[in-house]
Amino acid sequence: MQNPEAERTRVFSRRLALLGGAQVLLFGVLGARLHHLQVREAPAFALRADNNRISQRLLTPARGRILDRNGIALADNEPFYRVRIVRERVSDVEAILDALAELIPITPQQRLDALERARSHRAFVPVVVRNDLTWEEVATLAVRSPELPGVMLDSGLVRRYAFGPEFAHVLGYVGPPNERDLQNDPDPLLRVPDQRIGRSGIEGRYDALLRGKAGLLQMEVNVVGREIRELQRRPGVAGRDVELTIHKELQRYAHRRIASELSASAVILDVETGEVLAMASVPGFEPGAFTNGVSHRQWNEWRDDPRAPLVNKALSGIYPPGSTFKMITGLAAMEAGIVDARSTYFCPGHLTLGTARFHCWRPGGHGSMAMVQALAQSCDVYFYEAGRRVGIDAITAMANRFGLGVSTGIDLPSERTGLMPTRAWKEASIGERWQPGDSVVASIGQGYLTSTPLQLAVMTARMCNGGYAVSPWLARPVPGDGRELIPAPKMDIAEHHLKLMKDGMYEAVNGSRGTARSQRLLSEHDKMGGKTGTSQVRRITRAERAAGLHRRQDRPWRDRHHALFVGYAPYERPRYAVSVVVEHGGSGSAAAAPIARDLLQKALDLDPSGPRLSAEGASPKRLTAMVDAG
């Protein structure tokens, strides 16, 4: 029996020797690994040649262009030249800026910005001194480059929007990726300095398509970093062009036509295909301003403007549809069998329901009215009666079938659905039961109802194309983007009912007593139809009505009525549907109808949808809707 202490020491020593052996062995493994990497595998890295090295960088694909329906570029890329400095490689940033300033003009602000950037970025990150060099300046700097260590010249592509604000809302814009983008999107391209990401509009919606995929370039470079030869190139995937349904001329015209208004929007659709031919919203903004990040001041200015210049009001602006909604009420009543073409209601200028009195816009009343006349003259009482009898359920259901209160599915972000109220909705959100009076107000498109100009255009298109549920779309599907065009489903609505709506709209424009009779098209063979709408922003008080104040145009802008108009042309075989909303424009017939007439006239003149189909040779295949396949 040994001494326990000696035994323990013996075990310890033996095991310590084992440990030492293991350490030597592991270091042997490390040495072998280093030998393997540094001597045996070294040629595999193709780096044996003295003073040559590999530089690896991402090849950033050019962003895809956005084209109009005729292939005209609405958004493309143009080259720019800039000068940058790398702090790590210059001994004195201030001195190098002085040296640069002797060669090219540098404003004090640019100098300050460059110093600030050089301070705040890591030493090896190139920071921009000037972004907008002319070709002469590039040449000057290139010649002197040996004296300017750490100064880099390079060129890049910058997004160019040829038509500025005229297409800003449809196209959207590009901007630098922010922290959230970087977190949510693993694409290494976003980590490349100067890479831009699509933000709203088509740029945002089709960013993945437009962006393309990064390629990889390995260059052999020499001691001073000059590229000697290409070692490996893995091509990326170029950004795809996106072709829109927009007609450039019509869009520009539409924008300019409504630009005189403080705040307005307009949509022109092809009623057969759902193609959006023009979609304008004013005021606009300069999309190029976002490319390098917009300033806080500018951003706040846009954000706080009550006219919402950054918002595409054609699909994000929601307004009570007002009298443009009367076709829906009329169709609901007719489809339910409550009225027909000949049934009449008498309009004394108001409708009394219990203790409440609902006024017609025409104080003396319209007398006895049937459907077509009631639409032409926009008699409120006729639709009060029809709406009260058919009830809100049928009205809302009909509105939904025509695309109101539901998403149109257009391929643009931030579309709003507006609201077509139901009994359940009112109980859930207001906590009150649905009242008969609510139905009365709803039947002329007031009260809780809201819709977007795009929805109103879709409604008009479905009404005038023979009852096909076309849906609006902007970008032609490309294989693999998950969308396809299918024949538009036919809605189950009696043709003669639809024809009455069309006729009512025709009479509103062309009839002797129509609300928009002064707005008929100028040419003899093209007739248009349409419906005015004037929707209240604020409840009219009894006192105001008594004093006639509610029609005055000298009220504050924000309190004035919205002016709306929906229309179609030509009458015989409608091809174009238009909707115009002038925010606080006063009255539909005065403010919106003339614009709509001009837009339809322009559409007919430009004929963007190609040769008009003859009335009899209609091919149902032309009626299309866009769906997300799969």
Partner 1 sequence: MRVEPAAHLLQLPDKLARVSWVYVLILALIGLVGYAMLYSAAGSSHQPWAWRHAVRLAMGLSAMIVVAMIDPRVWFRYAYVLYAGAFAALVAVELMGSYAKGAQRWIDLGFVQLQPSELMKIAVVLALARYFHGATLQDVGRPLYLVPPALLVVAPSILVLGQPDLGTAVTLLAVGGTLFFLAGVRWWKFALIFGAAVAAVPVIWQALHDYQRQRVLTFLDPEADPLGAGYHIIQSKIALGSGGLWGRGFGQGSQSQLSFLPEKQTDFIFTMLAEEHGLVGAAVVLTLYLAVFLLGLLYAARTRSQFGRLVAAGVSMMFFLYVVINVAMVTGLIPVVGVPLPLISYGGTAMMTVLIGCGLVLGIDVHRDLYMKRFPVDDV
Task: Among 37, 95, 237, 430, indicate the residue that binds partner 1 (CB under 8 A).
Answer: 37
Tokens of 154: 């390079």
**Closest alpha carbon to 405 in 510, 318, 464:** 318
Q: Is 175 helix (H, G, I), strand (E, B) or coil?
A: strand
Contact between 39 and partner 1 per CB under 8 A: yes
Position 267, amino acid: V
- Residue of 54, 112, 430, 540 that binds partner 1 (CB under 8 A): 54
The alpha carbons of the chain give a radius of gyration, in whole angstroms, of: 34
3-state secondary structure of 355: coil
Contact 196, 175 (CB under 8 A): yes
**Residues in binding contact with partner 1, number by CB under 8 A:** 43
Q: Which of 71, 225, 235, 620 binds partner 1 (CB under 8 A)?
A: 225
Residue 15 Cβ vs partner 1, minimum distance, rounded to whole Å: 5
Q: Copy the structure tokens of residue 301.
A: 């200015």
Residue 44 binds partner 1, judged by CB under 8 A: yes
The answer to the question of residue 59 lying near partner 1 (CB under 8 A) is no
Q: In a 10 Å sphere around its CB, with 0-12 CB exposed, 13-18 middle and 19+ buried, how is residue 528 labelled?
A: buried
Question: Is residue 186 a contact residue for partner 1 (CB under 8 A)?
Answer: yes
Q: Is 12 in the site for partner 1 (CB under 8 A)?
A: yes
Pair 246, 279: CB distance under 8 Å: yes
CB of 250 to partner 1, least distance (A): 44
The alpha carbon of residue 75 and the mean position of all alpha carbons in its chain are separated, in whole angstroms, by 14
For residue 323, indicate whether it is catalytic: yes
| Residue 246: closest CA among 169, 190, 178 | 169
Is 27 a residue that touches partner 1 (CB under 8 A)?
yes
Beta-bridged to residue 174, according to DSSP, are 198
The one segment of 13-21, 333-341, 529-537, 572-580 that binds partner 1 by CB under 8 A: 13-21
Phi, psi of 281 (to 5 degrees): -145, 125
Give the nearest distance from C-beta 568 to partner 1 in angstroms: 54
Which range, of 35-43, 135-143, 303-311, 472-480, touches partner 1 by CB under 8 A? 35-43
Smallest separation (angstroms) from partner 1 to the CB of 1 = 12
What mask, x for binding partner 1 by CB under 8 A, covers residues 120 to 159? ----x-----------------------------------
Q: How far apart are CA 222 and CA 264, in angstroms?
A: 60
Nearer to partner 1, 88 or 607 (CB): 88
Determine if 612 is a binding residue for partner 1 (CB under 8 A): no
Closest to partner 1 by CB, 89 vs 555, is 89
Residue with tokens 């262009």: 65
Q: Using alpha carbons, select from 523, 524, 529 the residue that is nearest to residue 509.
A: 529
Output 18 or 341, the one with its CB closest to partner 1: 18
Of the candidate residues 77, 89, 307, 406, the single one contacting partner 1 (CB under 8 A): 89
227 touching partner 1, by CB under 8 A: no
CB 16, min distance to partner 1, A: 6
Rounded Cα–Cα distance for residues 342 and 329 (Å): 16
Does 16 participate in binding partner 1 (rule CB under 8 A)?
A: yes
Cα separation of 226 and 218, whole Å? 13
Cα-based torsion angle of the residue sequence 260, 265, 270, 276 in order, rounded to the nearest 10 degrees: 110
Selected from 62, 70, 79, 88, the binder of partner 1 by CB under 8 A is 88
Quick one: 449 exposed, middle or buried, by C-beta within 10 A (0-12, 13-18, 19+)?
buried
318 CA to centre of own chain = 15
- Taking CA 565 as the corner, what is the angle to CA 564 and CA 568, rounded to the nearest 5 degrees? 160
Q: Which residue is catalytic, options 200, 281, 316, 323?
A: 323
Cβ proximity to partner 1: between 26 and 139 the closer is 26
Cα(622)–Cα(603) distance, rounded to whole angstroms? 19
Provide the residue type at 212 as one letter. G
Is the CB of 11 or the CB of 112 nearer to partner 1?
11
According to the binding rule CB under 8 A, does residue 42 interact with partner 1? yes
The span of 47-55, 159-167, 373-381, 438-446 binding partner 1 (CB under 8 A) equals: 47-55
Q: Is 8 in the site for partner 1 (CB under 8 A)?
A: yes
Catalytic residue ranges: 323
Site of interaction with partner 1 (CB under 8 A): 4, 7-9, 11-13, 15-16, 19-20, 23-24, 26-27, 29-31, 33-35, 37-39, 41-42, 44-45, 47-48, 53-56, 58, 88-89, 124, 186, 188, 214, 216, 225
